[in-house]
Chain A
């Protein structure tokens, strides 16, 4: 069984500042991928960033970076220079090589002007 825990139901950040969204995971698989998705109020799911279990370097995609600490089983998302358009629900997810996905409960991020 696998599990994703997102302990922050809601987060606030000032525009232009950085914010970290927490994610811890549990899996018995040796090979897995960790993903972050953004869901705006319009409802679509937007892929942001991916980290493979064997990747030694933290993933980065523009203003998004993933702070991957394998020993702690954490995969926190860091958003730098927050923008008003970043206000959304953010989901952390794990995917195994068998194709099974598990999502966390999500964190609602609100960016204040």
Chain B
């Protein structure tokens, strides 16, 4: 069964540095998402992406964050000037476009655990 893959599984970065989290969505999916989950807490929506542009973003997704689909397979989340509170599990998800995102389940990757020191 096709799956969403995320790399790396664990990223350790010094505070203030930039980090890029990578995701390969399922090949026929057209909606892509990033979420974060601080340890033991709820899953927080960051951004959705469709047709090479941001579809929706949350108030968390400020100028520190950006997303990109650099080629036909990868979907990346860039975090600039990382802060201690950016430490979390970051999940990528993708869904089909048929009938719109509200009707399609999102398939999640296994996540990247980001640790800011």
Which residues of A come within 8 Å of B, CB atoms? 29, 31-33, 35, 37, 43-47, 50, 52-53, 91, 93, 95-106
A100–B34 Cα distance when bound, in Å, is 11
The 8 Å CB contact of B106, one of A29, A43, A97, A101, is A101
Contact residues in A for B50 (Cβ distance below 8 Å): 99
Bin chain B's interface residue count.
Answer: 20 to 34
Contact B110 A44 (CB under 8 A): yes
A50–B110 Cα distance when bound, in Å, is 20
Contact residues in B for A104 (Cβ distance below 8 Å): 42
Contact B43 A45 (CB under 8 A): yes
Q: Does B48 contact A (CB under 8 A)?
A: yes
Would you mind naming 24 contact pairs between A and B with Cβ atoms under 8 Å apart?
Answer: A29-B102, A33-B103, A43-B89, A43-B110, A43-B111, A44-B108, A44-B111, A46-B108, A50-B105, A52-B103, A97-B100, A98-B55, A98-B101, A99-B31, A99-B33, A99-B48, A99-B101, A101-B33, A101-B35, A101-B106, A103-B35, A103-B42, A103-B44, A103-B45
Tell me which of B33, B106, B110 has the highest count of chain A C-beta atoms within 10 A of its own C-beta.
B106
A99–B46 Cα distance when bound, in Å, is 11
Task: Tell me the dominant secondary structure on chain B's binding face.
Answer: strand
Contact A35 B43 (CB under 8 A): no
Which residues of B come within 8 Å of A, CB atoms? 31, 33, 35, 42-45, 48, 50, 55-56, 58, 89, 91, 93, 100-108, 110-111
CB within 8 Å for A100 and B56 given contacts A43-B111, A45-B43? yes
A6–B102 Cα distance when bound, in Å, is 20
